[in-house]
Amino acid sequence: MIGSAGAILSVRRICKTFGPVRVLHDVDFDLNAGAVHALVGENGAGKTTLARIIAGTHRDDGGGMTLNGQSYRPAGRTDAQRRGVRMVMQELNLFPTLTVAENIFLEDLPRRFGVINYRLLHRRAEELMAAIGLRDLAVDEPVGNLTVGSRQMVEIAAGLSQDCRLLILDEPTASLTDRETCLLFDQIRRLRARGVAMLYISHRMQEIKQIADTVTVLRDGRIISTHAIDTLTVEEIVNRMVGREISHAPAARTAAKGRVALRVENLCAGPRVQNISFDLHKGEVLGLAGLIGAGRTETVRAIFGADRLTSGRIYLGETAKHVRIRSPRDAIAHGIALIPEDRKEQGLFLPLGVDRNIAVPNLSRLSCAGIISPAAERTLARRHIDTGAIKCAAPDQPAETLSGGNQQKVVIAKWLARDCDVLIFDEPTRGIDVGAKFEIYAMMADLAARGKALIVVSSDLRELMAICDRIAVLSDGCLAATFSRNAFSEQTINAAAFSRHTATFRTQGAAG
Ligand SMILES: Nc1ncnc2c1ncn2[C@@H]1O[C@H](COP(=O)(O)OP(=O)(O)OP(=O)(O)O)[C@@H](O)[C@H]1O
Ligand SMILES: [Mg+2]
């Protein structure tokens, strides 16, 4: 008989291999009812793999589990759900052509005489979205039209929509801002009070300290330790994750601002980008802050030509003549790169190898008379795999089989291999582990020191305050305020972020 008293789920000696690579080694741990159990580890440590085995979407190849004292080996996701185990996935798994409401209640669409009862469906979806703070999202909107942050909220709502005994949340807050995270934590506390056991995977250490009762550290597929959360500091948790002591200080910004690299004037594109104007200088890191739905992603997509401008002008350098950017191809030709937040849809060719993914935007440099040089491709890939610390079994490992954080590193590497003057990063550290985050900050500081101009969109305000020279705050599609480094404060930036949203939204935010 495996399992220990009080545990709702006991995992014993679980192993998993993918091809020749062993990802989990004899993993043991327990989850208790009414407790939030954090699982932390570096990118590629095996967290998602373990979570998927529990949620029935991967099969273990050794070991055993018990759920409520009975043997448990789910045949698939539905089987796990029948036993009360659900998972909110790290990689968004929604159907882009279905609406928000349909995605949330996919497995349990309300019907009347065999026909879907849309009125009831929409009401239930609205209630659920309001509970987690997205009151202003139309539930009949196709999910494919939403930004990653909103999609993440829909995924969470779907996870919360059904009753369960054990809920796994795999990096649920990776692109949420403080306000949405607060509301999610209210829901988690409510579930905890109802006795639900939760496995909470995150790279955001402060959040783990805030919400978890227990923390387990996984390193290279092995359990390193399990502790009550109060008995470890964040530093001690991180040191256990990486197996060595790491420096936490991001490289100090020495703002040697150069000439103007990019100027946008009265940019308008759809309802979420209204009259945005700003200058970006060579050697400068400009942050874009704001709540989910404020228009951060839409603004950078408009600059990059991914969404059509309705009006406004973009100037490169200190010239009086504006440039026309009608497509990403135009933007790239003008030396502007956008490293997108949605690696699955826009950033990566999933079935292709890491090497091919890095090579694709650089084909012109790697080919001669239209023929790609395999040697040049390999050299380029090797260099970026090393400098970007991408964890892969071989350069040609398909991108879809990398861990989430390592996929993100490939997206960044593929754009850095190309030499652009203006680099726009949309949520660059989404899903990236603590150590690798500092590597990315250092890489950005280095680009700025080399005279590149950087725009960084991030839902993590503390991250922006650490790495930016200035922070522009968007609120409901408008530029609410811009702060220079000596005026950074969480309170004033958050106040600017809320400033233009509607009154209902404001009271909700204040409550959260
Ligand atoms: N289908 C697969 N085929 C081959 N290797 C895989 C597959 N799925 C995962 N892996 C490998 O298993 C290892 C663990 O991946 P996993 O996704 O569990 O990591 P993780 O701890 O969740 O990381 P992250 O923090 O980046 O999400 C990685 O090295 C990954 O490349
Ligand atoms: Mg993962």
Pocket test for ligand 1, best of 14, 15, 17, 18 (most atoms within 8 A of CB): 18
* pLDDT greater than 70 at residue 383: yes
CA distance from start to end of the chain: 44
Dump pLDDT digits (tens) for 284-311: 999 999 988 899 999 999 999 999 999 9
Q: Please report which confidence band the pLDDT of residue 216 belongs to, taking 50, 70 and 90 as the band edges.
A: very high
Determine the distance separating the centroid of ligand 2 and the alpha carbon of 452, expressed in angstroms: 31
86 closest CA partner among 173, 174, 164, 5:
164
Question: 194 exposed, middle or buried (CB, 10 Å; 0-12, 13-18, 19+)?
Answer: exposed
Dump pLDDT digits (tens) for 40-49: 999 999 999 9
Residue 218 CA, closest ligand 1 atom number? 21
Give dist(CA 60, CA 57) in Å, integer.
10
| Mean pLDDT, residues 258-287 taken together | 94
Determine the distance separating the centroid of ligand 1 and the alpha carbon of 45, expressed in angstroms: 7
Q: Please report which confidence band the pLDDT of residue 503 belongs to, taking 50, 70 and 90 as the band edges.
A: very low
Residue nearest to atom 24 of ligand 1 (CA): 43
Determine the distance separating the centroid of ligand 1 and the alpha carbon of 218, expressed in angstroms: 13
Lookup: tokens for 374? 């395999």
User: In the structure, which protein residues have their CB atom closer than 6 angstroms to any atom of ligand 1?
Assistant: 18, 21, 23, 41, 43-49, 90, 391, 401-406, 431, 433
Dump pLDDT digits (tens) for 137-186: 889 999 988 888 888 888 888 888 888 899 999 999 988 888 888 888 98
Give dist(CA 69, CA 6) in Å, integer.
9
39 closest CA partner among 186, 139, 169:
169
Determine the distance separating the centroid of ligand 1 and the alpha carbon of 48, expressed in angstroms: 7
Residue 90 CA, closest ligand 1 atom number? 27
What pLDDT score does 511 carry? 36
Lookup: tokens for 27? 């993993």
What pLDDT score does 4 carry? 55
Lookup: tokens for 277? 């104007």
Query: What string of DSSP letters covers 303-359?
Result: HTTSS--SEEEEEETT-SSEE---SHHHHHHTTEEEE-S-IIIII--TTSBHHHHHH
DSSP state, residue 56: T
With contact defined as beta carbons under 8 Å apart, do 475 and 293 qualify? no
With contact defined as beta carbons under 8 Å apart, do 301 and 336 qualify? no
Residue nearest to atom 12 of ligand 1 (CA): 23
Residue nearest to atom 18 of ligand 1 (CA): 46
Give me the domains of the chain, ranges plus CATH numbers: 7-242 (3.40.50.300), 260-335+420-511 (3.40.50.300), 347-418 (no CATH)
Determine the distance separating the centroid of ligand 2 and the alpha carbon of 90, expressed in angstroms: 6
Nearest ligand to the C-alpha atom of residue 405 = 1
Query: What string of DSSP letters covers 112-167?
Result: ETTEE-HHHHHHHHHHHHHHTT-TTS-TTSBGGGS-HHHHHHHHHHHHHSS--SEE
